[in-house]
Amino acid sequence: MTRPSESPLSGEPAVIEVENLYFAYPGHLVLADINFTVRRGEFVSIIGPSGCGKSTLLTIMAGLLRPSRGSIRVNGRAVSGPREDWAMVFQHFALLPWRTAIDNVRMGMQYRRGRSKREQKQVANRYLTLVGLEGFEHHYPHQLSGGMRQRVGLARAFAAHAPILLMDEPFASIDAQHAELMREELRDLIARENRSIVFITHNLDEALFLSDRILVLSANPGTVVKDVQIDLPQPRGFEVADEAERLRYAQYRAGLWAELRVQIRRADS
């Protein structure tokens, strides 16, 4: 496969713009001078040491927390609260226990006008099938494994048809084998649909597997110290047959880990 000299997304408009963003609690600066953009259709992962403000940043982007200074714009409009053009996938599933899988998936659609109940169920069924849950539509969360509950959460986010997905360590609470399956499910969904995604993770290989770009945040206060475009075709990883692609993957990983190691040690000192 011929690799382009620049990202195929370089000509796409910026849908998210984060400018000079700061956030502080009394006596504690959490985020300092955060600046980055996310283009339409781009998958951007954010990694960094524990406590560097990754989840706080995502919460601010979602409009659930106000920055101390700076701004976030979506499609040119300032974020001042929750919006209809984003959906969020949480680390701890966030399913309603009294609703079945299909009704949990329908939730995102119920708050958006234009779809009948029948249409909502059709869309929910489609996404449950895409994440491998055909036949489990009428199961309640307590009847599903952790990996299956997270698949319901992923299906719910995609079924809402929001052009922006914010994902906060969505696979951190499930076992390693199911997390691997979920990464593949997410990669396949991305290939089908043009969404802009901001993805928080502690897992460097997870970020490399999925992302168009990876941002590394520093130790306290969190600021962007590395912004790397990942110029690799899918599929990715050490198991890819092409030796040159494996080498490039290893080079990306080594460079990112070198910076991440520095920030982890700073956070621990």
Number of helices (H), then strands (E), belonging to the chain: the values are 7, 10
Closest CA to 166 of 33, 18, 28: 18
pLDDT for 40-73, tens place per residue? 999 999 999 998 999 999 999 999 999 999 999 9
pLDDT for 120-132, tens place per residue? 899 899 989 888 8
CATH of the domain at 58: 3.40.50
Residue 26 lies in a domain: yes
In this structure, the answer to whether residues 79 and 95 fall within a common structural domain is no
Residue 205 lies in a domain: no
Judging by beta carbons within 10 Å of its beta carbon (0-12, 13-18, 19+), is residue 264 exposed, middle or buried?
middle
Residue 195 lies in a domain: no
> What percent of the chain has pLDDT above 90?
54
pLDDT for 221-234, tens place per residue? 999 999 999 999 88
Measure the CA–CA gap between 73 and 14, rounded to whole angstroms: 10
Write down the mean pLDDT value for the chain. Answer: 88
In this structure, the answer to whether residues 122 and 158 fall within a common structural domain is yes
Residue 175 lies in a domain: no
Mean pLDDT, to the nearest integer, of 246-263? 94
In this structure, the answer to whether residues 227 and 268 fall within a common structural domain is yes
Cα end-to-end span (Å), the chain: 44
pLDDT of residue 4: 37
Residue 189 lies in a domain: no
pLDDT for 7-50, tens place per residue? 566 678 899 999 999 999 998 999 999 999 999 999 999 999 99
Residue 243 lies in a domain: yes
pLDDT for 132-147, tens place per residue? 899 999 999 999 988 8
In this structure, the answer to whether residues 102 and 130 fall within a common structural domain is yes
Mean pLDDT, to the nearest integer, of 175-183? 84
Measure the CA–CA gap between 102 and 85, rounded to whole angstroms: 21
**What is the distance of C-alpha 149 from the center of its chain?**
17
pLDDT of residue 1: 29
In this structure, the answer to whether residues 80 and 18 fall within a common structural domain is yes
Residue 228 lies in a domain: yes
Closest CA to 208 of 224, 186, 190, 231: 231
* Six token digits for residue 265: 């040690």
* Domain span at 229: 11-85+164-170+211-269
On the question of pLDDT at 111 being above 70, the answer is no
In this structure, the answer to whether residues 250 and 222 fall within a common structural domain is yes
Higher pLDDT, 225 or 92: 225
In this structure, the answer to whether residues 59 and 99 fall within a common structural domain is no
Residue 184 lies in a domain: no
Q: CA dist 5 to 10, 211, 228, 231, 245, Å?
A: 11, 17, 15, 9, 16
Looking at the structure of the chain, the number of domains it has is 2
